[in-house]
Every structure is written in structure tokens, then in C-alpha cells.
């Protein structure tokens, strides 16, 4: 996590920064952004429009209908007003199975812990609604930090750390900003990605963001001259502006 790195595998672009942000973009246009902050990870999954009606699982069904987000594997749908206990059962229903895992378990440790191990621990019960004791001095500090942010409040009370609550609050704010900025249609969380762009042979590119509005600029190594556009912008049509530049 600490090593700045850009790795390109066919169909996959991986970028990580020194401050623990990691972006993975797949050739399908889907991507994952992982942000590490003070020991906590925040994860954002970005899906282009062609995934509409093709998703299921924990992140809901991306179809423009918010009423069916909690759809179980057997296609039964639970109310969006479900209790935290019911949400926990919904999560457990989508627990990874040996056959659906994306990973290869190729050491004894990984095999024992993940392949043969339990995928969902039914005897683990999370805190569903932490108790707010008015006599607890932390509650006052929590209210002043979190205000009405339920995620911040939950994390302060369950971890008894304002710092953790603060990082949750920031992640939640970032999420809300992302939703506001990226939503062309307020009923959907759609992200437009133009896909990964390579640097020209004998040149460099500047920019690692492939989403709508992003600019990638190009320069040539010494002794080479650029033909084609100096920069390309990710457009609403999911295509980069201009042609491929060369050096
Ligand atoms: C990492 O992510 C945070 C939170 O979104 C952002 O403020 C910061 O600028 C990012 N760092 C880099 C190097 O992109
Ligand atoms: C997705 O499904 C909904 C409901 O069945 C339909 O109205 C909508 O047109 C579909 N969207 C796409 C992009 O297929
Ligand atoms: C579908 O799965 C859920 C969770 O396991 C269960 O509560 C529900 O009864 C199932 N519905 C049907 C029709 O099997
Ligand atoms: C698959 O996972 C389950 C637990 O989720 C485990 O009991 C089983 O041994 C695993 N391996 C195989 C080969 O099924
Ligand atoms: C399952 O959860 C219980 C209760 O939190 C815990 O005591 C137990 O160690 C857990 N089992 C595994 C394999 O993690
Ligand atoms: C919360 O985090 C922000 C930004 O990192 C910082 O400016 C602020 O002082 C923090 N507040 C608390 C109570 O830790
Ligand atoms: C890369 O682009 C950013 C913003 O678009 C700019 O601030 C930065 O100076 C550029 N870096 C180089 C090496 O050109």
C-alpha cells in the first residue's frame, strides 16, 4: 500500500499513490478506488452505464429502481426499510463461496484460512444500534464532530475513537460529493469512464483519472515532436476527445 506504483496488465490498469489511494480500472470501464486513511479503508466502485441491469449483490441492483436494492441470491427482495439485523442477513446471503471467489488460494495458509475456512461466521453478531448514554462524556464530543451523520456516530460509539469517526465522516462526505458531481441523472449513480489511455511511444502521459471530465496530457521525450492533440478529455459519450497522439 505504501509503494507508489503503476502496473499495467492486459485489461487492467492499477495505480497507487504514496498516500494510500489505489485505483484499479478494468478494460470494461469498471473500476475500484480504494482510499486508506488512518488505518481505515474506503472503497468506491465505479461502473459505466453498460452495466445497467447486470449487477447483483451487496451494492444492489443498478437499474434505476431503488426499491429492489436488497435482492437476495434467490431473487427475493427485501424492503429498503429493513432493520440492521435484516441487512446483516442480506450481507451474509452474499458471502463469498469457494466457487465465486476472485482469488486463487495457492499456499497452505490461504487454503486453510480462506478456501476450507468459514466464509461467514454465523456466531459473530455485530453491534446493530450502539447505545447513546447521555452521561458518557464521549457522546457530547461525538455530537459536535458528527452532527447527524449516522455513520460517524456509529463508528465513534462502537470504536470509542473520534479519529475513526472523523475518517468515516470524511469518507461519507467524499461519497456524497462524488454522487452529486457524477450524477447526470439524480436517480442513478452512474459513472462515465472513457477507459484507460496509454502514453505515446517515446513519450509520457500526465494524468491517471479516466472518468468524465478528466484530462490526460501528453509530452514527448527529448528529440521527439508531438503530432496530434496535446491533451485528451473524457467526454460524456465515453470516448476520449481527439485522436491518439504520437511522438
Ligand atoms: C487520495 O484521496 C484523497 C481523498 O479523496 C484525496 O484528497 C487525495 O488528494 C488523493 N491523493 C492523491 C495523490 O491523489
Ligand atoms: C433496465 O431494466 C429496466 C426495468 O426492467 C428497464 O426499464 C430499462 O430500460 C433497462 N435499462 C437498460 C439500460 O437496459
Ligand atoms: C430467499 O432467501 C432468503 C434469505 O436466505 C430467505 O429469507 C427467503 O425466504 C428466500 N425466499 C425464497 C422464496 O426461497
Ligand atoms: C468450500 O468452502 C466451505 C466453507 O464455506 C468449506 O467447508 C469447504 O471445505 C470448501 N472447500 C471445498 C473444496 O468445497
Ligand atoms: C466467530 O465469531 C465468534 C464470535 O465473535 C468468535 O468467538 C469466533 O472466534 C469466530 N470464529 C472464527 C473462525 O473467526
Ligand atoms: C478531522 O479531520 C480533519 C481533516 O483531516 C481535521 O482537520 C480535523 O481537525 C479532524 N477533527 C477531529 C476532531 O479529529
Ligand atoms: C500534470 O497535470 C497537472 C494538472 O492537470 C499539473 O498540475 C501538473 O503540473 C502536470 N505535471 C506535469 C509533469 O506536467
In the predicted structure, residue 185 carries a pLDDT above the cut 60: no
Q: Name the burial class of residue 46, with classes exposed (0-12), middle (13-18) and buried (19+) by CB atoms within 10 angstroms of its CB.
A: buried
Q: Are 34 and 41 in contact (CB under 8 A)?
A: yes
In the predicted structure, residue 36 carries a pLDDT above the cut 50: yes
Radius of gyration from C-alpha coordinates of the chain: 22
The band of 96, judged by pLDDT with boundaries at 50, 70 and 90, is confident
The SS3 call for residue 233 is strand
Does the C-beta of 2 come closer than 6 Å to ligand 5?
Answer: no
> How many other CB atoms are there within 10 angstroms of residue 167's CB atom?
21
* Domains of the chain listed by start with CATH number: 1-48+191-247 (2.10.70.10)
Which residue, judged by its Cα, is nearest atom 11 of ligand 3? 76
The gap between the terminal CA atoms of the chain, to the nearest Å, is 33
The band of 174, judged by pLDDT with boundaries at 50, 70 and 90, is confident
Phi, psi of 124 (to 5 degrees): -85, 125
Closest atom of ligand 3 to CA, residue 75: 1
Centroid of ligand 2 to alpha carbon of 70 (angstroms): 18
Span 156-168, pLDDT tens digits: 999 999 999 999 9
Q: Which pLDDT does position 184 carry in this prediction?
A: 55
Closest atom of ligand 4 to CA, residue 95: 5
Q: Look at 239 and 144; give whichever has higher pLDDT.
A: 144
Report, as an integer, the average pLDDT of 167-172. 90
Q: How many helices (H) and strands (E) does the chain have?
A: 5, 8
Q: Which pLDDT does position 186 carry in this prediction?
A: 39
Sign of the dihedral defined by the CA atoms of residues 48, 191, 80, 65, in that order = negative
pTM, two decimal places: 0.67
In the predicted structure, residue 189 carries a pLDDT above the cut 80: no
Does the C-beta of 124 come closer than 6 Å to ligand 5?
Answer: yes
Which residue, judged by its Cα, is nearest atom 2 of ligand 7? 206
Report, as an integer, the average pLDDT of 90-100. 89
Distance CA 13, CA 193 (A): 13
Q: What is the mean pLDDT of the chain?
A: 84
Q: Which pLDDT does position 22 carry in this prediction?
A: 84
- All cell numbers assigned to 93: 446471503
Q: Which pLDDT does position 28 carry in this prediction?
A: 76
Phi, psi of 171 (to 5 degrees): -60, -40
Q: Which pLDDT does position 230 carry in this prediction?
A: 96
In the predicted structure, residue 128 carries a pLDDT above the cut 60: yes
> How many other CB atoms are there within 10 angstroms of residue 150's CB atom?
10
Amino acid at each position: 500500500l505504501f509503494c507508489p506504483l503503476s502496473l499495467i496488465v492486459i485489461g487492467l490498469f492499477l495505480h497507487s499513490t504514496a498516500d494510500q489511494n489505489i485505483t484499479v480500472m478494468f478494460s470494461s470501464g469498471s473500476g475500484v478506488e480504494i482510499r486508506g486513511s488512518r488505518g481505515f479503508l474506503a472503497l468506491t466502485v465505479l461502473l459505466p452505464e453498460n452495466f445497467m441491469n447486470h449487477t447483483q449483490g451487496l451494492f444492489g441492483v443498478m437499474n434505476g429502481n431503488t426499491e429492489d436494492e436488497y435482492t437476495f441470491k434467490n431473487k427475493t427482495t427485501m424492503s429498503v426499510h429493513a432493520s440492521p439485523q435484516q441487512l446483516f442477513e442480506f450481507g451474509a446471503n452474499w458471502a463469498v463461496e469457494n466457487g465465486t471467489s476472485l482469488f486463487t488460494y495457492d499456499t497452505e495458509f490461504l487454503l486453510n484460512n480462506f478456501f476450507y475456512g468459514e466464509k461467514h461466521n454465523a456466531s459473530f453478531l455485530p453491534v446493530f444500534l450502539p447505545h447513546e448514554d447521555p452521561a458518557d462524556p464521549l457522546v457530547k464530543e461525538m455530537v459536535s464532530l458528527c452532527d447527524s451523520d449516522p455513520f460517524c456516530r456509529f463508528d465513534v460509539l462502537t470504536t470509542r475513537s473520534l479519529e475513526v469517526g472523523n475518517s468515516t465522516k470524511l469518507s461519507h462526505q467524499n461519497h456524497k460529493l462524488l454522487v452529486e458531481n457524477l450524477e447526470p441523472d439524480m436517480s442513478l449513480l452512474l459513472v462515465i469512464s472513457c477507459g484507460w489511455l496509454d502514453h505515446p511511444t517515446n513519450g509520457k502521459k500526465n494524468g491517471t483519472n479516466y472518468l468524465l471530465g478528466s484530462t490526460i496530457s501528453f509530452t514527448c521525450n527529448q528529440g521527439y515532436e508531438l503530432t496530434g492533440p496535446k491533451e485528451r478529455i473524457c467526454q460524456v459519450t465515453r470516448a476520449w476527445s481527439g485522436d491518439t497522439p504520437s511522438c
